[in-house]
Amino acid sequence: MRADSRTELSRYFDHTLLKPEARASQYETLCREALQLRTRTVCVPPDRVALAVDLLQDSTVEVCTVIGFPLGYSSTSAKVAEVDLTRTLGASEFDVVIPVGRLRDGDLPAVYDDIRAVVAAAEGSVVKVILETALLTDAEKIAGSVAAIHGGAAFLKTSTGFSTGGATVEDIRLLRMVAGESRGVKASGGVRELAFVKACIAAGADRIGASATAAILANAAGGPEGNDGY
């Protein structure tokens, strides 16, 4: 892949750091890398949004944060409060974990209501719904995706990276089939290699969540490929 293609590829990435033990210096490195690589966003926890916004001011890199993360069973009011706070601090994209247990119960109205409330709180900002696909059957993935779409989500997202599995090409294809062209699809969880990123994009992903962004893009330009991930 040529260097100009690498620049185009970098805009697929939400450059991510969500490790609970991460220090401020690691978020500073994340933001510095995002600026150098020109990624779409950095994805950070709610308590690091203010730092990221400050470090990325006057740049094209947006700040994404996570809501109800990583388990998804926070109350809807708690999720809305997280959106309200982090939007005030400057976050412009919100990755919210679906109430997985409610979905597996078949309680789709509860799932819809949860997502709809978060979307309303985001006031037009991008909301990506994390399905945690490793925990779901294909039928549940489809049902959750439909609820997310009807709830107003802009993206369907595979995984938190904290569960039993991450993104798969098969799941990307399935989510793209449900989303059609009306919604985005984000591959996340265990994204470490350039070949896998290419396969996900070919399958229909238009956003990639990874902490290994720098290593992946270095490989795209002909450098060594790392194996760090989240």
Would you say 33 and 218 are in contact if contact means Cβ atoms under 8 Å apart? no
Q: Give Rg (Cα) of the chain.
A: 16
Identify the active-site residue in 79, 128, 141, 186.
186
Catalytic residue among 14, 95, 114, 171: 95
158 neighbors 171 (Cβ within 8 angstroms): yes
Query: Before 70, cis peptide (omega within 30)?
Result: yes
- Active-site position among 128, 157, 171, 206: 157
Q: Is residue 19 flagged as an active site residue? A: no
Clarify whether 114 is annotated catalytic. Answer: no
Q: Is 186 a catalytic residue?
A: yes
Distances (CA, A) of 141 to 53, 57, 147: 33, 37, 10
Burial class (CB within 10 angstroms; exposed 0-12, middle 13-18, buried 19+) of 229: middle
User: What amino acid positions are annotated as catalytic residues?
Assistant: 95, 157, 186
